[in-house]
């Protein structure tokens, strides 16, 4: 039961934030529209269905009736988010990037880039064999069977060549650096799965309280360290300004 929004990955860049160069992913978060309300009485659970990106053609009759009931046009993407109380939302309500604030942590879900059928060197990072002349073992996986228990038996989970990428992946606990409410842009620290202009789903992290408390403790420790450094430098400057005592004691 958490808040979330649909967005589009625009790419990656870096920004200067709090004196450091931070790698960030630029996400256009919304605006999204609430297209359906699901309650525990009617559907067995509380959730809202959210639509993203206008769909102008190829809308069939059931979809047309569904969107008409919500008082909105067709949408390309429809996703659900579990909520505690669906009655707090209304059909046709707009959700924008301002549901998140800087400093919060989110889980970002997207579709990985597809790389087709690949061997074990690229897919799993195998070292491979010698690359010199005369070698008959370059990028092959080597022996895949075993002589224990059953000869030639291939154990489940053996890393082998196959389809690489093209799977749904979720990156956990990414910190939101900047929220631009006017352009509905969210800058998330780090990389998120998916290609440019692909759909991503942002959900509030379940560990958000622990992570934000950890950030606050880190900031307090950094402030104390900087204060100690400033105090030490100030003491050293005052020590240099103080007049030196004459040699031989008092006269």
Tell me the range of 83-87, 149-153, 183-187 where mean pLDDT is highest. 183-187
The pLDDT value given to residue 248: 62
Residues whose CB is less than 8 angstroms from the CB of residue 13 and which lie 6 or more positions away in sequence, other chains included: 23, 24, 26
pLDDT at 201 over 70: yes
% helix, strand, coil for the chain, step of 5: 20, 35, 45
Element (H, E) at 217: helix 208-241
pLDDT interval class at 245 (50, 70, 90):
low
Q: Which candidate, 193, 170, 166, places its Cα nearest to that of 27?
A: 193
Q: Which candidate, 29, 36, 28, 27, places its Cα nearest to that of 93?
A: 36
The pLDDT value given to residue 85: 85
Chain segment 21-44, per-residue pLDDT in tens:
999 999 999 799 999 999 888 888
pLDDT at 251 over 70: no
The pLDDT value given to residue 217: 86
Greatest alpha-carbon span in the chain: 107
pLDDT interval class at 80 (50, 70, 90):
very high
Chain segment 45-68, per-residue pLDDT in tens:
999 999 998 888 888 999 889 888
The pLDDT value given to residue 143: 83
The pLDDT value given to residue 1: 53
What tokens were used for 196? 């440019």
The pLDDT value given to residue 234: 83
Whole-number Å distance between alpha carbons of 117 and 146 = 25
Sign (positive or negative) of CA dihedral 68, 83, 111, 187: positive
The pLDDT value given to residue 103: 87
Chain segment 81-95, per-residue pLDDT in tens:
998 888 888 998 899
The pLDDT value given to residue 148: 66
**C-alpha pair distances (Å), 251 with each of 246, 247, 248:** 9, 10, 8
Q: Is 16 exposed, middle or buried (0-12, 13-18, 19+ CB in 10 A)?
A: exposed
> How high is the mean pLDDT of the chain?
88
What is the average pLDDT across 158-178? 93
pLDDT at 220 over 90: no
pLDDT at 213 over 90: no
Sign (positive or negative) of CA dihedral 130, 133, 135, 137: positive
DSSP state of 81: E
What tokens were used for 107? 């889980």
Distinct helix (H) and strand (E) counts, the chain: 3, 12
The pLDDT value given to residue 216: 83
Q: Assign 62 to helix, strand or coil.
A: helix
């Amino acid at each position: 039961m958490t808040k979330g929004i649909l967005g589009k990955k625009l790419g990656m860049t870096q920004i200067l934030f709090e004196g450091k160069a931070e790698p960030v992913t630029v996400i256009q978060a919304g605006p999204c529209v609430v297209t359906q309300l699901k309650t525990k009485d009617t559907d067995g659970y509380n959730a809202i269905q959210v639509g993203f990106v206008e769909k102008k053609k190829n809308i069939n009759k059931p979809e047309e009736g569904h969107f008409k009931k919500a008082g909105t046009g067709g949408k390309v993407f429809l996703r659900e988010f579990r909520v505690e109380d669906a009655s707090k939302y209304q059909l046709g309500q707009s959700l924008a990037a301002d549901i998140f604030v800087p400093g919060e942590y989110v889980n970002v879900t997207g579709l990985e880039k597809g790389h087709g059928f690949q061997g074990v060197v690229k897919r799993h990072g195998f070292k491979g064999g010698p690359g010199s002349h005369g070698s008959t073992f370059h990028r092959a996986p080597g022996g895949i069977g075993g002589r224990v228990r059953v000869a030639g038996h291939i154990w489940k989970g053996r890393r082998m060549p196959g389809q690489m990428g093209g799977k749904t992946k979720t990156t956990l606990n990414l910190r939101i650096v900047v929220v631009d409410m006017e352009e509905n842009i969210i800058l998330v620290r780090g990389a998120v799965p998916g290609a440019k202009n692909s759909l991503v789903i942002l959900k509030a992290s379940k560990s958000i309280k622990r992570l934000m408390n950890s950030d606050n403790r880190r900031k307090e420790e950094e402030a104390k360290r900087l204060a100690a450094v400033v105090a030490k430098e100030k003491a050293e400057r005052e020590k240099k300004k103080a007049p030196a005592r004459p040699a031989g004691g008092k006269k």
